[in-house]
């Protein structure tokens, strides 16, 4: 399934059907090493201390968020419900996760230990009480989205003396990862194309993030292999099915609506960033296919003309009801709609790799400074990304833009693309057809513009952004 590159150290072996709870005895991965490495956190702190733009504007967005205040009181639940069940309490979970993440990030930038203590208190409260995630098919969304986010929040304080690491790992491997792992295998008893791209992507993000956090090499291998070769619509060639000659590649969910396409781009970027920080270059996989898809979504979201090849997907339950749905054109867009996803993608391709990414760069500038959960409306869609990319992912251009990611100790940077590397979980029962979610609910100029936007961050731009997160979340 995965091929080692030889120079990367000990090979990561393929995973087959190992349980999600199988954790390696010795650490195979770099920590911190999900969305943020130690070098990333040091860069943020140094840049903010020096008063450097746009980091200061990004940090101001963080400190102004109500979730980023020390003393946040968690409200842990034994069971979280999304889609069905009583009470529908998943908002309690995502608000607490974002409070933990934002306080942990604020601690690393400011050095104020009260924020680290707050993050630890939130995370320990949940790992001491949560036993299950339940509901309709939406339980898979909850497991995927909140599993990857929980892992990222905890990764930032995993060495805190009061953090119960083993108990938190146990919660991730028993509550979140099994649902996500099972979804990628069984898709809730549906035909594999029943669920749109973002369903797979949030499950993939959870499997990868929890695998890294828990040092489970087999789990990480499953996630990476699914990105490349999975049967569902989250695998890269299914999510981005058509590459055109103009450097763009069609994003499948552009035929659905803008909000879910933006969500998908953000989730795939999150997946690629976490993988990159462990030595896997999925950003560059298949001739940087993700860049071409992100460029497409960026151009389209800004009101540009894009092509769309009609596609028909099968829907329904295996052995049950069936149907087909055709998307024939890219949906309409609201040019002011945004999500905090672009800084991460733009900085990778233009600063780490030195590649042109004009549309992505322009939309990143337009979206700057990026906020996080609580800045994009009160509904779940405003909490689907952790955000704060202006602070977290702005970086100086590296001298060697052709370098591969540095593999973590014990890991390798596999590639089976044919080019040089660029830089079974616990089963849950499939439910009936009624539970399927068929109804669910130029670069220099661009970066100069970003600097200009941060200079007026307190003015008209932010006033215009107040309504941007108003459309719904993953489904």
Distance CA 270, CA 205 (A): 7
Helix (H) or strand (E) holding 150: helix 138-155
* Regions in the chain scoring below 50 on pLDDT: 1-26, 409-410, 412-435, 437-472
Q: Which residues contact 386 (CB under 8 A, 6 or more apart)?
A: 35, 98, 101, 149, 152, 270, 372, 373
Helix (H) or strand (E) holding 421: none
For 240-270, b/e burial (b = at least 16 CB within 10 A) is: bebbeeeebbbbbbbbbbbbbbbbbbbbbbb
Whole-number pLDDT of residue 8:
28
Helices (H), 306-426: 342-347, 358-367, 389-393
Whole-number pLDDT of residue 465:
28
Whole-number pLDDT of residue 79:
98
Contact of 422 with 279, CB cutoff 8 Å: no
DSSP, res 330: P
Whole-number pLDDT of residue 444:
38
Whole-number pLDDT of residue 27:
58
Q: What is the DSSP string of 70-138?
A: TTPPP---SEEEESSSSS--HHHHHHHHHHHHHHHHHHHHH--HHHHHHHHHHHHHHHTT--EEEESTH
Residue (of 283, 271, 273, 261) closest to 338 by Cα position = 261
Whole-number pLDDT of residue 1:
26
């Amino acid at each position: 399934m995965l091929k080692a590159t030889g120079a990367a150290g000990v090979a990561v072996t393929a995973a087959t059907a190992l349980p999600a709870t199988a954790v390696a005895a010795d650490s195979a991965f770099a920590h911190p090493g999900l969305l943020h490495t130690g070098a990333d956190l040091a860069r943020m702190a140094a840049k903010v201390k020096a008063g450097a733009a746009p980091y200061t504007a990004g940090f101001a967005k963080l400190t102004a968020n109500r979730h980023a205040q020390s003393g946040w009181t968690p409200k842990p639940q034994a069971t979280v419900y999304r889609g069905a069940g009583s009470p529908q309490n998943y908002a309690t979970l995502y608000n607490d996760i974002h409070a933990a993440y934002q306080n942990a990030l604020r601690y690393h930038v400011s050095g104020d230990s009260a924020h680290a203590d707050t993050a630890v208190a939130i995370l320990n409260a949940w790992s001491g009480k949560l036993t299950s995630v339940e509901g309709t098919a939406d339980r898979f969304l909850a497991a995927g989205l909140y599993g990857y986010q929980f892992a990222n929040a905890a990764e930032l304080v995993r060495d805190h003396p009061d953090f119960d690491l083993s108990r938190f790992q146990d919660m991730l491997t028993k509550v979140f990862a099994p649902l996500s792992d099972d979804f990628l295998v069984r898709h809730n008893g549906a035909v594999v194309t029943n669920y749109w791209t973002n369903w797979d992507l949030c499950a993939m993000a959870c499997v990868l993030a929890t695998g890294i956090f828990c040092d489970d090499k087999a789990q990480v291998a499953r996630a990476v292999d699914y990105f490349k070769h999975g049967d569902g619509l989250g695998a890269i060639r299914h999510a981005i099915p058509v590459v055109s000659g103009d450097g763009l590649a069609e994003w499948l969910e552009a035929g659905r609506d803008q909000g879910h396409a933006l969500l998908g781009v953000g989730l795939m970027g999150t997946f690629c960033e976490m993988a990159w920080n462990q030595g896997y270059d999925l950003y560059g996989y298949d001739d940087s296919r993700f860049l071409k898809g992100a460029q497409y979504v960026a151009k389209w979201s800004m009101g540009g003309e894009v092509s769309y090849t009609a596609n028909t997907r099968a829907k329904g339950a295996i052995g049950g009801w069936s149907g087909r749905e055709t998307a024939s054109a890219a949906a309409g867009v609201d040019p002011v709609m945004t999500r905090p996803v672009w800084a991460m993608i733009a900085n990778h391709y233009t600063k780490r790799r030195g590649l042109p990414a004009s549309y992505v760069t322009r939309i990143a500038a337009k979206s700057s400074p990026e906020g996080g959960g609580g800045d994009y409306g009160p509904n779940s869609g405003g909490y689907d990304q952790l955000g704060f990319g202006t602070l977290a992912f702005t970086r100086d251009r590296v001298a060697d833009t052709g370098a591969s990611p540095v593999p973590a100790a014990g890991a390798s940077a596999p590639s089976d693309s044919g080019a040089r590397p660029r830089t079974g979980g616990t089963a849950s029962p499939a439910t009936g057809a009624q539970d399927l979610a068929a109804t669910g609910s130029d670069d220099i100029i661009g970066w100069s513009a970003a600097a200009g936007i941060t200079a007026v961050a307190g003015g008209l731009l932010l006033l215009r952004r107040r309504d941007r997160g108003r459309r719904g979340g993953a489904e």
